[in-house]
Amino acid sequence: MKRIILFASGSGSNVENIVRYFEGHPAIEISAVLTNKRDAFVIDRCNKLGIPALYFNKSGFTGSSLVLQVLQCMDPDLIVLAGFLLKIPSELVTAFPKKIINIHPALLPKFGGKGMYGKHVHTAVKTQGESETGITIHFVNEHYDEGAIIRQFKVGISERDSVDQIAAKVQSLEHKHFPEVIEAILLDT
């Protein structure tokens, strides 16, 4: 079996969607979810889904090699950031070349970088009067949202769309496409 480790900091709707997609999959399994937020709703989802969840604090992530060691022990085939808000330390990027991917809720290179997450992204898209937005699935390097792009998917928006409506359109693209792209990466298709 190919093993996935998910990282998340928030609600975890993508985590739940990915876990459900791979339930009973013949070749791919979810090993665990790692989070830097002790009270993140993603932990409740993991409890419900029966998926192991591990919390780590900042000292475990950037102040020591704890998370690196845990990951090395678990030996994942892919590390998937699904709403994970911290920057990935360079030791992790180096230890898992081409094995860490992220999803960004806009069409990079537009609307990316530090501070561009969640509502901030959708508000900026609306303020700029964009006629489309979308999602970007990309490899992770040492810089926020700058790794090589794997796939992008677009959706049209109108000036009448509220920020919440834009967010809903983007989320539905994420739920539709992210699991399939993960599967294609792991199965090399």
* CA 60 centroid distance within chain: 20
Asked if 170 contacts 62 with a C-beta cutoff of 8 angstroms, the reply is no
Quick one: which of 174, 182, 183, 185 contacts ligand GRF (CB under 6 A)?
174
Q: What are phi and psi of 2, to 5 degrees?
A: -85, 140
Q: Which of residues 108-167 bind ligand GRF (CB under 6 A)?
A: none
Piece of the chain touching ligand GRF by CB under 6 A; list 5-13, 47-55, 59-67, 137-145: 5-13
Query: Nearest approach, Cβ of 10 to ligand GRF (angstroms)?
Result: 4
Q: Which of residues 74-93 bind ligand GRF (CB under 6 A)?
A: 82-83
Task: State how far the Cα of 103 lies from the Cα of 179, in Å rounded to an integer.
Answer: 11
Q: Which of 4, 5, 6, 12 binds ligand GRF (CB under 6 A)?
A: 12
Out of 5, 14, 46, 133, name the contact with ligand GRF by CB under 6 A: 14
Quickly tell me which residue has 């509220």 as its tokens: 162
Q: Minimum Å distance from CB 147 to ligand GRF?
A: 13
- Quote the least distance from Cβ 57 to ligand GRF, whole Å: 20
For residue 2, the SS3 value is strand
**In sequence order, which residues have a C-beta less than 8 Å from that of residue 35 and are 6 or more positions away?**
7, 8, 9, 42, 43, 53, 54, 55, 56
- Nearest CA to 166 out of 177, 175, 157 is that of 157
Cβ count near 188 (within 10 Å): 5
Query: Should residue 35 be labelled a site residue for ligand GRF when binding is judged by CB under 6 A?
Result: no
Scanning the structure block, which residue is given the tokens 């994942």? Answer: 76
Q: Where in the sequence numbering do the catalytic residues fall?
A: 104
Provide, rounded to whole angstroms, the least separation between the CB of residue 42 and ligand GRF. 6
Q: Which of residues 82 and 92 has its CB atom nearest to ligand GRF in the complex? A: 82
Interface with ligand GRF (CB under 6 A): 8, 10-14, 82-83, 103-105, 174
